[in-house]
Homo-oligomer: A and B are copies of this chain.
Amino acid sequence: MTSINGDRLLADLDTLRDFGRYQTGVHRPTYTQIDMQARHWLMERMREAGLEPEIDGIGNVIGRAPGNRPKLLVGSHLETQNHAGWLDGALGVMYGLELARALPGQIDVAAWADEEGHFGTFLGSRSAVGEVSDAEIDAARNAHHGQPLREALAQAGLDGKPRTVIAPGTYAGYLEAHIEQGDDLEATGLRLGVVTSIVGIWTFRITFTGVQNHAGTTRMAIRKDAGAALVRLCSAVEHRLPTVAGPRSVWTVGRILLKPGAASIIPGGAEMLLQMRDADPDVLAAMESALHDLIAEANAAGPCSVTAECTFRSMPKVMNNGFQQALAHASAAYAPGAHQYMPSGAGHDAQILAQIMPAAMLFVPSIGGISHDIAEDTAREDIVLGCQVLAAGAAEILGT
């Protein structure tokens, strides 16, 4: 049987945690000095493990095993959200490194750049499947402070380096492990989740146009208050979407902006971001259709005008069935009765890699369901179990 070294894995994760340690969590935004130090540290560990490491022009680190045997690609990402947790991304990369040690010659390891979206959307993995153009890189800016991506890449020493594109057929498939980020496993007393599909995410920017005016001298009857129009639509969404959503659908208004945003000025403009997620594209389509109905009703009722623009649309991605079964067999072997099949409510690099090769994901529990927060954690025995199960699943897939 394929065995991993749990102590070595935990030691590596604890060392990686020091790159950007912030209280009990980690602050390691993409392309910052500390993020680049972590990437170079990983390359050293890859070399020690007998891999040939390479960092490309978008910051993807790939460690390749020598030889000509069929291989799996295993990985995740190294950078974190701002002031976030120590395991999100890091766990999956270090699992990959440990699998490369346990299955020599059969595992390549990847750390995809910017899964966390500081500068774009799945920049690293999309670049690796040939989806990112130079024009997209030219236009991209940091979501938090606006720094151009080109400038950040130059500061990170990555300008001029070519970007690596993986040809379909290079690998037998892709595996990614990740913390669950929800509380399903914990709530049901389980320790492993075999991911069936990754949800599609559709985000809409909804814009309201009214007339800006003085909040004291403009009678209620003649106002065209864009903020009031936004609240009415939000309220209607809250009532209508449940009638068309599925049992695991989620939707979120994460951002609202009133313009100009002063106590004494009737907002002349307003904007909100509405994001919907589901594993079923028909359910997503029904939710989008309901949104467009509500917007048409709002425009018919007046007095403000409303438009919606889809700013992000990823399709749900079903994980490879055979890979799922291999992960389930391994789960049953190492922790009988402790796994379940489940969808992923979060997006992951695996959904991008799945475009060019069979892919699957394994979840380990998040304590309290917390992620993107310094309190993010997973029991150490669950961390080790997850890696063992991923290694055994990989071995079954490879027929080792």
Contact = CB atoms under 8 A, between A and B. Distances in A.
Interface of A: 180-183, 199, 201, 203, 212-220, 222, 225, 227-228, 231-232, 234-235, 238, 242, 248-258, 261-267, 273, 275, 277, 312, 344-347, 369-373
Given A234-B231, A267-B254, A199 B181 contact: no
Contacts of A264: 201, 252, 254, 275
Dominant SS among interface residues on chain A: mixed
B215 A373 contact: no
Given A231-B234, A235-B232, A254-B264, A345 B182 contact: no
17 contacts: A180-B217, A201-B216, A201-B264, A213-B370, A214-B371, A214-B372, A215-B250, A217-B344, A217-B345, A217-B371, A227-B256, A231-B235, A235-B235, A254-B264, A254-B265, A256-B258, A264-B275
A367 to B, nearest CB: 14
Given A203-B263, A238-B228, A256-B258, A275 B215 contact: yes
Given A182-B218, A217-B346, A263-B273, A254 B227 contact: yes
Given A181-B216, A252-B265, 15 more contacts: A181-B214, A213-B369, A214-B371, A215-B250, A215-B252, A215-B275, A218-B345, A220-B242, A227-B253, A228-B234, A231-B235, A254-B264, A255-B262, A263-B273, A264-B275
Contact of A265 (B215, B231, B370, B372): B372
Contacts of A371: 214, 217
